[in-house]
């Protein structure tokens, strides 16, 4: 007789321990009972027993045994995301509690978009950490939809992102930085030293396109339609920005990106932007933060980033 999901859930909640999940994850990663036992400070019989307990609890085989070790079954693969998330949440909470007890200034979990990281946090973080060494910052890269999910899950104090069409209930957006689209190339490109570049010039070049659905791709398609040209394209499309930048450093290619995304490479002078006749404004970058019940640590970080952007604007 098959066992229901409700029964399995009740069994896991009543009898499963974090150690069971640790064994499951480590066995999958290492493929060996011996290596798993060594990595978590247990004996081999102890690991074997915990695995047997979990398989008995779920009434399913979690690993295939073979001469070289073990290999996860499909049932194990189904259980892994929950086990990993459980262990990650446990370690993050342990870090937060330890930091709060030793330093007393709190923890701020920040989810930041690619633009937010490259356009703001990369530059501001060293000074922020220097001013508030007692605040532990947990920073993860996450685009806006992932930030909204984190708000629902309660595992984010602060978001760094582009202005959303609508904020989640109880949250607000605070704009910090204006942004615009720019055309990027390497410093030896034939258009790099031209004082004013026209779209006729650009229509004759080869482009690296951003992925479909991205704001940069939509903007580029609108501009190519407006200026009536069909672009020559490099047939490599990736969301891994480091791959795009590596290609552009080695070949005479162009790409359209938000200035914030490009900021770090611009500062390093590895690539450059072309001087277009017109500006291409884009939605500003800023902070997503709670409307009320904001912690002192989160407010300190938000205020610092606000002042940092104001100072940077005055220096321009």
pLDDT in tens, 300-315: 999 999 999 998 877 7
CA–CA dist 31, 67 (Å, integer): 11
Q: pLDDT tens digits for 248-260?
A: 888 999 999 998 8
- Is this prediction's pTM over 0.75? no
CA–CA dist 90, 79 (Å, integer): 17
- Tell me, yes or no, if the two domains 5-97 and 105-176+284-315 fold the same way: no
Is the CATH number of domain 178-282 3.40.190.290? yes
What is the DSSP code (8-state) at residue 209?
P
Give me the pLDDT at residue 104, please: 47
Q: pLDDT tens digits for 20-54?
A: 999 999 999 999 999 999 999 999 999 999 999 99
- Point out the least confidently predicted range of 7-16, 51-60, 211-220, 284-293: 7-16
Closest CA to 113 of 154, 153, 150: 150
Return all residues near 252 (Cβ < 8 A) that are at least 6 apart. 185, 186, 188, 189, 190, 205, 206
Q: pLDDT tens digits for 266-300?
A: 777 778 999 998 899 999 999 999 998 898 899 99
Return all residues near 61 (Cβ < 8 A) that are at least 6 apart. 55, 73, 75
Q: How many CB atoms lie within 10 A of CB 26?
A: 21
* Class of the domain covering 5-97: mainly alpha
Q: Please state the domain extents for the chain.
A: 5-97, 105-176+284-315, 178-282
Give me the pLDDT at residue 100, please: 55
Give me the pLDDT at residue 102, please: 46
CATH of domain 105-176+284-315: 3.40.190.10
């Amino acid at each position: 007789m098959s066992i229901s999901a409700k029964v399995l859930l009740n069994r896991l909640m009543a009898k499963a321990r974090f150690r069971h999940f640790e064994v499951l994850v480590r066995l999958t990663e290492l493929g060996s009972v011996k290596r798993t036992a060594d990595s978590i400070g247990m004996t081999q019989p102890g690991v074997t027993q915990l695995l047997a307990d979990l398989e008995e609890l779920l009434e399913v085989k979690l690993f295939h045994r073979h001469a070289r070790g073990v290999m996860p079954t499909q049932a194990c693969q189904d259980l892994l995301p929950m086990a990993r998330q459980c262990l990650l949440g446990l370690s993050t909470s342990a870090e937060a509690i330890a930091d709060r007890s030793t330093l007393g200034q709190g923890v701020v979990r920040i989810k930041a978009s690619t633009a937010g990281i490259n356009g703001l946090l990369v530059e501001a973080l060293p000074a922020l950490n220097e001013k508030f060494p007692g605040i532990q910052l947990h920073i993860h890269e996450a685009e806006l939809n992932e930030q909204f999910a984190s708000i629902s899950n309660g595992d984010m104090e602060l978001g760094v992102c582009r202005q959303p069409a609508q904020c989640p209930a109880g949250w607000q957006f605070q704009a910090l930085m204006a942004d615009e689209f720019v055309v990027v190339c390497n410093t030896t490109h034939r258009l790099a030293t031209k004082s004013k570049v026209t779209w006729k010039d650009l229509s004759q070049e080869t482009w690296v396109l951003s992925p479909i659905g991205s704001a940069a791709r939509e903007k580029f398609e609108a501009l190519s339609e407006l200026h009536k040209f069909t672009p020559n394209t490099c047939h490599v499309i990736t969301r891994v920005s480091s791959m795009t930048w590596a290609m552009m450093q080695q070949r005479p290619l162009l790409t359209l990106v938000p200035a914030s995304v490009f900021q770090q490479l611009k500062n390093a002078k590895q690539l450059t932007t072309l001087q277009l006749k017109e500006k291409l404004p884009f939605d500003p970058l800023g902070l997503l933060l709670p409307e009320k019940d904001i912690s002192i640590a989160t407010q300190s970080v938000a205020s610092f980033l606000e002042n940092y952007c104001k100072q940077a604007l005055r220096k321009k």
